[in-house]
Amino acid sequence: MATRENKLYKGIVYRLTPIKEKDAMVSCIGQDGLFSFFARGVMNPTSSDFAACSVLSQSEFILNVSTQDALRLKEGTLIKNYRQEPNYSVAMASQGMLEALCKALSPEDASAFYPYVEKGFACIDEGKDPLTVLAIFLAKLLIVSGYGPTLDQCAECGKKSDIVAFSPSSGGLLCRECASELGIEKSPVELLKAIRAVFLVPLDKIGSFSISGAMILPLLSTLMVMVEESTGVLLKGVASLLKY
């Protein structure tokens, strides 16, 4: 007969998968990576674990661990819920971040990416520009996944001067000559600066700046293309955002 032990987990809930009427599988990301567990009755708003297991909740969970490594919720304690009052930009940014977690993040990279998840949702909760946070979130996801672009020289020839464009398919910045040879149009200087900013900003400085309104949608479009070309995942939430 399988024996069980209790173990403490901490993480942010990014997905609930209903099972039957009120049960669910709860998917989380934490310092040790991704983990999922079965939670009985947690879809019922009267459940004592409803808040702790809600999407965008950061919580501590006491989980029963069987010898088959199956996890089952014993008790959940809410630390912080990052869900806010309805706001279009906040809702779309949060949706894009959750979609990226569900579809584009490799389990092997989850532990390294968790600090950016925690920081990103915290910044939105603090009222920082949500679309800039989303852009940084996607940029850091690409870096952690091993798809960070070349930002210190031309991705094609290695030239460090006369940089005029950025190409997702080429893997980074391009000098004037290479951009011309590849038929790639010159990028606005402000967009090149924004690309460098979101990829290079350190963790503790996320939330310290905002990308201007004129550049944020072209930036998100570029990042969405990079995610799709690198992982094969189309972020439909970001695509919907770009339509408006």
**Per-residue model confidence as pLDDT tens digits over 81-129:** 998 766 888 999 999 999 999 999 999 999 999 999 999 999 999 999 9
Hey, what are 177's tokens? 């000559």
| Alpha helices per DSSP H over the chain | 88-103, 110-125, 130-144, 176-182, 189-200, 213-231, 236-243
Position 3 scores a pLDDT of: 55
Query: If one looks up domain 4-81 in CATH, what number appears?
Result: 2.40.50.140
Hey, what are 70's tokens? 């199956």
Same CATH fold, 88-243 and 4-81? no
Distance CA 206, CA 212 (A): 15
Position 48 scores a pLDDT of: 96
Hey, what are 65's tokens? 């661990």
At residue 200, φ and ψ (nearest 5 deg) are -100, -15
- Other residues' Cβ atoms within 10 Å of the Cβ of residue 242: 14
Q: 88-243, which class in CATH?
A: mainly alpha
Q: 3-class SS at 82?
A: coil
List the domain boundaries for the chain: 4-81, 88-243
Q: Tell me the pTM.
A: 0.93
